[in-house]
Structure 1
Amino acid sequence: MTEAEYLKLLDRIVKGAEYLENPLIKPEDYSRGMRLYDQLVQQLLKYKGLIE
């Protein structure tokens, strides 16, 4: 992963967290968003060597 890809991933994680904070989103959108958010965080943790 390049530095640019890393920064893009961080940006997506932050934007996802901001989206998920919205109390007006539908439960199914929240669930879908959380799954994507979790996947992105897992990618980041693997890149940083914090998980395998």
Structure 2
Amino acid sequence: MKFSIGLLFGLWMSPLMAGDQPNILFIIADDASRDSFGAYGCQYVKTPGFDRI
């Protein structure tokens, strides 16, 4: 019950706070380096979703 109330409150408040916070994306990968993404020149790994970001 507490979880449901918290979830409903969070869903209710999220549109109100959406414009106040910056968009920050943390990408955490265990075995990836900068050279592992197509956006940085890797020819072997295709990462179109990451490249659009």
Shorter-chain TM-score bucket reads 0.3 to 0.5
* Structure with bigger gyration radius: 2
More helix by share: 1
TM-score calculated relative to the size of structure 1 = 0.32
